[in-house]
Amino acid sequence: MILNVAIWTLLAICSAALIIYLLSMLFALINWNTKSLQQANPNARSLAVIVPFRNEEDAIVQCLISLKEQDLPDLDCTFIFVDDHSSDKSNRIVKDLLDEQELTNFKLLELPSHLNGKKAAIAAAIDLVDVEMILTTDADTVAHPSWIKTLIQEQSETGSDMICGPVQMKSGSTLIDKIQSMEFTVLQGITGSFIQGARPIMCNGANLLFKRSVFLEVDGYKGNETISSGDDVFLMFKFWKRRPKSVAYCKSRTAVVSVKPEKNFNGSVEQRVRWMSKLSFYKNYSIKIFSISIALAHLSVPIYILLLLLNESSLVLTILIMAKVVVDLTFYAVVSSWFKQRINLLLVLLFELIYPLFLLFIFIRSFNSTYSWKGRT
């Protein structure tokens, strides 16, 4: 009797999560090709590109070169690299490159000892400049040559206070690399779709353009300084609260910045634990429900297989699982096609089986309140 109650409770939870998930993904599919224009305004005349970094000696050269090669419009542009107390050779590499190439519009800022973290790094750079627009990116990114021009044009066309740009994770050769890339692609699709559907739930600070005046008006990162992550999402919510529909997504291939997957399994897990740590600080309960339903929907796949082995599944759950697989395949195919990524059907099906276990491991790992990121706990 107790076992039957437990099984039916599990079936009900899985079914409810899958229904919420399917409705959300259908919303994402519908809005992936939607674009809402606001009142246009003149192009911004001044911009500061801020690149906070910590221990990025392996990637920072490519980032700097891609910024140096930007096709800048008639724009007063300053590039600021902010060193968040790196313990490797990142600082020296940037100094040497700036000296060698005489890049007068590039600057290196070192955070003082009493400040640390990405938010502090970005805020310190913003305090130094008097410009119309701020553009943040990460030191492990490589940008398209027309990246800045495209984002500035998008901001002019939409009149938005914030533009969220697309980020692409290049797929590596290992299975964990491919899982990271597939997950990242789906998250980018959800990011763009929900912003374009006027329901923003996430963005990525590796490609984020916003008005400096509005940043100051909403008190920047004040209120979430102690949260190690979330320099992007919490700021986006502040912009949205100040003026609904003031956040836009730039769905242009020339606005893409590329990143590489984490080098190993542990790094991938630590990164996702860091992302998960933001969830408890969200004030919007609909986002919490959405995030939990996504996790439960993915976990429903191994649960469904277990129930099948116990001969305890149901027709409703079977239909919902099949619908999930079809919707996932469709959404991933649509977004991957836009990013010009190859689609491996067998790999996608394998992802449906492996990713829930990956999520479960991250969830269990998150109960350990400490994690290491960039050599800092």
Q: Report yes or no on whether pTM surpasses 0.85.
A: yes
Q: Please, which residues bridge with residue 52 across strands? A: 82
Closest CA to 229 of 29, 374, 78: 374
Residue 356 one-letter amino acid: P
pLDDT at residue 376 in the model: 59
Tens-place pLDDT, residues 135-192: 999 999 999 999 999 999 999 999 999 999 999 998 878 888 888 999 999 999 999 9
Q: Is the Cβ–Cβ distance between 82 and 111 less than 8 Å? A: yes
3-state secondary structure of 204: coil
CATH class of 46-274: alpha beta
Closest CA to 45 of 78, 70, 67: 78
Phi-psi category of 253—alpha, beta or left, where left has phi over 0 and alpha has psi -120 to 50?
Answer: alpha
pLDDT at residue 278 in the model: 72
pLDDT at residue 11 in the model: 87
Which residues fall within 8 angstroms of residue 261, CB to CB, at 6 or more apart?
169, 170, 171, 172, 176, 177, 180, 181, 184, 268
Torsion angle, alpha carbons of 293, 296, 298, 302, to 10: -160
Q: What angle do CA 305, 307, 310 make, to 5 degrees?
A: 115
User: Could you count the other beta carbons within 10 Å of the beta carbon of residue 70?
Assistant: 18
Q: Where are the domains positioned within the chain? A: 46-274
Closest CA to 347 of 130, 212, 180, 150: 180
The phi, psi pair for 22, rounded to 5°, reads -65, -40
pLDDT in tens, the chain (377 residues): 676 777 888 888 999 999 999 999 999 999 998 875 555 566 788 999 999 999 999 999 999 999 999 998 788 999 999 999 999 999 999 999 998 888 889 999 999 998 889 999 999 999 999 999 999 999 999 999 999 999 999 999 999 999 999 999 988 788 888 889 999 999 999 999 999 999 999 999 999 999 999 999 999 999 887 776 777 999 999 999 999 889 999 999 999 999 998 888 788 888 788 777 777 777 777 788 888 888 899 999 998 888 888 877 788 889 999 999 999 999 999 999 999 998 888 888 888 988 998 888 888 877 765 655 565 55
pLDDT at residue 76 in the model: 92
Distance of CA 92 to the CA centre of its chain: 29
Angle between helices 2-31 and 285-309 (to 10 degrees): 130
3-state secondary structure of 131: coil
Residue with token string 């789906």: 186
User: In angstroms, rounded to a whole number, what is the distance separating the alpha carbons of residues 107 and 95?
Assistant: 9
Tens-place pLDDT, residues 269-303: 887 887 777 777 777 777 888 888 888 999 999 98
Tokens of 127: 């305090």
pLDDT at residue 335 in the model: 97
